[in-house]
Structure 1
Amino acid sequence: MSSTLSVLLYSSDAAVRAQVRAAVGRRPAPDVPPVEFVECATLSAVLLRLETVRIDACVLDGEAAPAGGMGVCRQIKNEIFQCPPVLLLIGRPQDAWLAGWSRADAVITLPPDPVEIAAALAMLLRALR
């Protein structure tokens, strides 16, 4: 594992991206390397980054528009060879069953609780070792 991990952060809402960055901070856990966010606001940007840049994990906003994170997750899980693990942010706990359909590796609800999102992201990043 490299000294800095790359996390793709997808949301059409800049405020959600800022909330995630603030909640996770520079390092999601003491035993995980620092993270660098690669921010995307569109599906085409997500697909381009996943094809051209090393990405260690993804955080996708299930409430993004017009391409919601659940659909994006399912698409990249089906289309990207060795797709990185995905943390999906959902609007309501009742949407967890849809997150299962999307093939997300972890799910939390919005707004992101700092402890919860850091723990979920750290779990995904630890699995890379």
Structure 2
Amino acid sequence: MTEHNAGAENTEKDAVRILLYSDNRNVRREVIDSLGVRLGANMPKISWTEAATWQGAELKVREGKFDLMILDAEASKLGGIGLGMKIRDEINPDIPYIVLIARPQDEWLARVAKPAAVLSCPVNPRELAVTVREVLKKH
């Protein structure tokens, strides 16, 4: 579990705090590289917190406030679908989450968990950015 802040200014009060959970560092890097440090011009910066284990992600949620979670459904032990439901049902029902799925046939299962959105992995950077902005606007 690591916290990734791209510059000291990311600790500003208006930064969007995103928890990114995946046991695959390549998936985490892909998501962070796709979104970068800002959601767009005149948009808040992103403060990233990475978690490689579900326990680490759960601990981070208990310790802090997040505006959004991006969860990898393919993570071993407890995938992003289960973790999203666990956090929603047991810790904080108000944190929206996006589930990343590798197989299109898993979309029905992901939707049962009622995430804010379901996206395919590998991610499409444009689709990810648009989806993150839409989810944050709704919540």
Identity of aligned residues (%): 33
Q: Which moved more, 1:25-34 or 1:3-12?
A: 25-34
Runs of at least 4 residues of structure 1 off by over 2 A?
A: 28-32
Aligned to 2:31: 20
**Structure possessing the higher relative contact order (Cα contacts under 8 Å, 6 or more residues apart):** 1
Distance in structure 1 (CA, Å) of the matches to 2:63 and 2:32: 22
Q: 1:9 aligns with which of 17, 20, 38?
A: 20
Matching residue of 1:88: 99
Judging changes above 3 Å, is the alpha-carbon distance between structure 1 residues 84 and 52 closer, same or farther for their aligned structure 2 residues? same
The count of aligned residue pairs is 127
- What does residue 80 of structure 2 align with? 69
Q: Which structure has the greater CA radius of gyration?
A: 2
1:102 aligns with 2:113: yes
Whole-angstrom CA distance in 2 between matches of 1:79 and 1:68: 16
Q: Which runs of 5+ in 1 are unaligned?
A: none
Deviation at 1:31, TM superposition (A): 5.3
Q: Using the alignment, how far apart are the partners of 1:75 and 1:43 within structure 2?
A: 10
* Deviation by residue 1:5-57 (Cα, 9 ceiling, x = unmatched): 11000000011000000011112233531111100011111111111111110
Looking at structure 2, the residues matched to 31 and 126 of structure 1 have their Cα atoms a distance apart, in angstroms, of 14
Task: Report the residue type matching 1:96 in the other structure.
Answer: E
Call closer, same or farther: CA 1:37–1:12 in 2, change over 3 Å: same
How far did residue 85 of structure 1 move? 0.4
TM-score (normalised: structure 1): 0.91
Q: Which residue of 2 aligns with 1:43?
A: 54
Structure 1 residues 124 and 32: alpha-carbon distance in aligned structure 2, compared to 1, 3 A threshold = farther
- Partners of 1:7 and 1:55 within 8 A in 2: yes
